Structure 1
Amino acid sequence: MKTLKIRVLITVLFIVTVLGIAAAVISESRQVAGAADGREKYFTSIQIKRGDSLWSIAKKNISEEYSSVHEYVEEVCEANHIYDGEIKEGMYLVIPYYK
Structure 2
Amino acid sequence: MISYVILKSKRIFAKICSIFVLTNSCSNAILLLQTNVRRTYILFYENGGLQMRAYNTRISAKANESLNRREAIVSTQKRMIFVVVILCISLLILGSSTYVAFAKSDNQREPVKQYISIQIQSGETLWSIASEYVKDTNVSKEEYIAEVTSVNNLKDSQIHSGQYIIIPEYVFYEQ
Query: TM-score per shorter chain, which class?
Result: 0.5 to 0.7
Structure with the larger RCO, 1 or 2 (CA within 8 Å, 6+ apart)? 1
Among candidates 113, 118, 137, match of residue 41 of structure 1: 113
Among candidates 47, 53, 59, match of residue 125 of structure 2: 53
Cα distance change, pair 38–71 in 1 and its aligned pair in 2 (3 A): closer
Deviation at 1:86, TM superposition (A): 0.9
Among candidates 142, 146, 153, match of residue 70 of structure 1: 142
What TM-score do you get using the length of structure 2 for normalisation? 0.34
Moved over 3 A (4+): 36-39
The one-letter code matched in structure 1 to 2:159 is: I
The residue aligned with 2:161 is: 89
Greater fraction strand: 2
User: Tell me, which stretches of 5 or more residues in structure 2 are unaligned?
Assistant: 1-107
The residue aligned with 1:79 is: 151
Q: How many residues align?
A: 63
Greater fraction helix: 1
What TM-score do you get using the length of structure 1 for normalisation? 0.57
1:44 and 1:56 mapped to 2: Cα distance? Answer: 16
User: Tell me, which stretches of 5 or more residues in structure 1 are unaligned?
Assistant: 1-35
Q: CA RMSD in A?
A: 1.6
